[in-house]
Structures are given as structure tokens and as C-alpha cells.
A and B are shown apart, each in its own frame.
Chain A
């Protein structure tokens, strides 16, 4: 495959870092500090304009409005000369939450699912942590007063994410038999997990969200799915105090991806390159 278009369908609820990743991805590709290089300057940079302006000012991007859905087309080339037209979306995460909660899929989402070559599921592990239960915390503690102030009643995140993938699979299969698009899981805001270097993202997913990991393994298998750690910014930005290093050096110098083997690399396009490989071997 020398020339191909790769359309990405990105799924993630609010606050998982979709816009930050999109903005940083574009900056990396533009500055040619990664495996993918831009062939043609994108005609329209507006979808990520605001995000990139904020990041260059050392501030986090504001929340993407829930009604927004916009796509960018980036014409890139890999190190091996493979030409790709990458379609990358940005939208308000409420749309995914609404899909899960209402169990109704609008025609535009149905089309996106059908036409995508690769699906990316963005999960922020810190927001998706499991509650302790009767097995993880001994029953002898039942009568003990609960001192965890942050514990609130809620459904388990991993069950929601499995349900989302089941809905995506089902809607995809309505068009007929065939393998679903390759799946990449990005464990976002990896830096806030404060993990030692060398930890494999797939092992982290398996230990934090076993139900989701097992589901993906059984439905996609290891040759059609991949798990990466992602820290799009490398650190948390504050709305109160601008990060001077981001202002001075530029946000394109920050952020990293954790490869399947657990190695950190500043090349944020690594997941896209892996998606292109998996699609080629389909």
C-alpha cells in the first residue's frame, strides 16, 4: 500500500484529552519531529486553532462544546514513504456519553463508525478507576466507618466502556459480516498515574480495567488491537498559572507516548503509525 487514506473514529468521553492530543499531534507533524511528515500544508487549521493557541500560551484548552464535531484532513507520509491521508476528529465528549446513556445512535455517528478504518478508544485511567468491593476490601470492614471522602455511588467505568464497544461492534456489523476496524486504546494522562518507566500499557489496562481488557482481547485479539500510554502534554497545565516552558519552547516539545513495550517516546504519531501497520496487514 503506497497510497491510502486512513479515517480515524475517535471515541472518548469528556476530559480524556481528545483535543489536547489532536492539537499536539498536528504540531508534531508540522514540525516534522515524528515519524509522520506533512506532505501538503492542511487547507484548514481552524479545528485545532484555539487548542494550539492556548497550549502555546502555557494554558490548557477550554472544554470543546458538546455540539461540536469537526474533522481535519492531514496529508502525511511515513518514514517508509507510505502516503496517508489522515482524517482526525475533534468533538465534545458529551456526544459519546449521550450515546451510551440514551442507547440511540444518530446517523452521523453511524456513518463515522462504518467509514472508519481504525477506531481509537481514549480512556483516562484516573477517571475510570474501579471501586473497592466486598472481595478487594475484606468483609470484616463492612461495619467500619467509611473515611474515603471521594467515594460516590456510580456505575463502573469499565462496564460503560465495554457497553460502548459492544454498541459500536453491533452497529458496524449491521452492514454485513466482516472484521471490525482495528482498535487502539490510548490510556491518556499517563503522567498523572505516576508510574515507573518500563510498565507496559497493556498490563496497566489489564490490571486497572480487567473487564475491558478481556473483552478487547477476545473480540479483537492482539494482532488487531494495540494499547498505548499517552501523555499529550507531559504534565498537567493549570488555568490559573501559565506554564512558562510551554510559552518559551512551544508545546511541541512536550508530551510522550508509551509504546507497547513500555518505552517512552516523544513521537506522538506512534499510535497512528501502528494503526496504519495493522490496517495494512488486515
Chain B
């Protein structure tokens, strides 16, 4: 399994980083974290799937609306490495899912001790965050375009 966060690391570095974490099994339908929770761990998806949702009012009722889905190899919860360290989405497993939970403090200590590996991980994180930024920027513009067309019609 190749994790997007660990791209470019040597096998030894990968083992070291993965050794910092704890393997968790998230039962189907269970939340990994909720919007607004303190983000002190980030997660590497090993098996299954994670739905990232945001609450939305639908007919006067709060509903969790899918924003993104994460598959094996992808990272979940990078808010753990970015201030103010609060989750900005809710993560739920639609089926039994396995993740590796990496505590922030342990990771930061490892980066301090292994700056070369820390640099590669920081770059990988930038790729993940940048990709999401591009996607949501595009989605936002498409919605805006539709709003403009609806108002001009």
C-alpha cells in the first residue's frame, strides 16, 4: 500500500512513520471525528472508505452532505497538522474501515529528528491540500457561473 503522505520516503522512513501510529478499525456507520473536534491525529486510510461531510439545512433539517470520499492510500484529517488544529469536516466510515492514526505530537517530534523525511512529508501534504484547493476552487466557480446564468435568465 502506497500512502500519498509518504511518497518519496525510503522504505525505512516509511516503516518508521507507520510505526508511530496505531491501527484502528472503524465499524461501518461510525464517525472517525466530527466537525469542530480538536484535531490531534491524522489518519492514513488502509482499507475501506471514509466519507467527509458537512452539515447542511435541507427542508429545515440538518443533513450531512458528502463533500469528499477518501480511499485506501489517502490521508484524512490533515487539520491535525494545520492550525488551529480543528476538524473542519465530519468523517464517517460507510463500511468497516481500517486507518492508521498518527498523533500530531509524535509526528512533529519525528520531523524534528528527521528533517529530510519531514520535508518530504510536508511537500506531500502540500500536494494533497493544493489538490483539494484546486478542486473546490473549480467547483465553487462552476456553481457561481450557474448562479450568474440563473440571474441573467
Q: Do A and B come from one complex?
A: no
